[in-house]
Amino acid sequence: MNEATTRDPDLTRSRILQAGFELFVDKGFAAVSMRELAQRSGVTKSLIHHHFGTKEGLWDAVKEAAFSRYYEGQKDELEGADAPDSNLLRNGVIRYFRFLQENPQVVRLFTWMHLENDSTCSEMDAELVALGARRVREAQEAGLLRADVNPTHVVTIFIHACSQWFEVRPQHKNWEGIGSDDEYLEDFLKIFMDGLAPGAAASETDSN
């Protein structure tokens, strides 16, 4: 009965943040009530207001915490990569896919944000994509990838193919013939990497 009465504002804050993360990810901002948040985090409603001001304040804090975790992780991986070689893009896709696979809540959170036209993290987001696009351009200049496609689009395409997969997976699990996460990733990589091979443009010159 000693630790129950002890005050620990940092722990309290993080408990509220965690409850907010779970509930907002699950139901979206509008469908969550302060009372629900209070109950889940085991504190009083007033205490949430004390620490975060308003419901929007907590929402912002939840988004920022989640996104900064995402941002740091992705940036480390992007900057830690070596000089361009033929497997760099492939490995980047795989790492991104694995990250989403292990953090499905992040996908949902970002989707809620997109629907609400939230631009909280647009600068960081843009920075990550620019970093990835630069890598692709380097590989293009080294002759490792076809040069007739926009590097930003290359990054965008694989981000979309990965994130949408996890966004809609619950609904599409019983589509006829659909495979596991790994099988989807494998097929995507086949098409994506071969479609980006330097010689890929040659095979189609007769059709149009």
Site for DNA, rule CB under 7 A: 5-9, 12, 32-36, 43-47, 49-51, 53-56
Structure tokens at 154: 């290359």
Residue 98 binds which one of a copy of itself, DNA, none, with CB within 5 to 8 A depending on kind?
A: none
| Residues 68-97, interacting with a copy of itself (CB under 8 A) | 86-87
Least distance (Å) from DNA to the CB of residue 84? 49
89 binds, among DNA, a copy of itself, none (CB under 5 to 8 A by kind): none
| Minimum CB distance to DNA, residue 196 (Å) | 47
C-alpha distance from residue 94 to each of 56, 133, 152 (Å): 35, 16, 18
Q: Which does 102 bind (CB under 5 to 8 A by kind): a copy of itself, DNA, none?
A: none
Which contacts (CB < 8 Å, 24+ apart) does range 14-18 have? 15/41, 15/42, 15/43, 16/41, 16/43, 16/47, 16/48, 16/51, 16/52, 16/58, 17/58, 17/61, 17/62, 17/65
Minimum distance from CB of 119 to DNA (Å)? 20
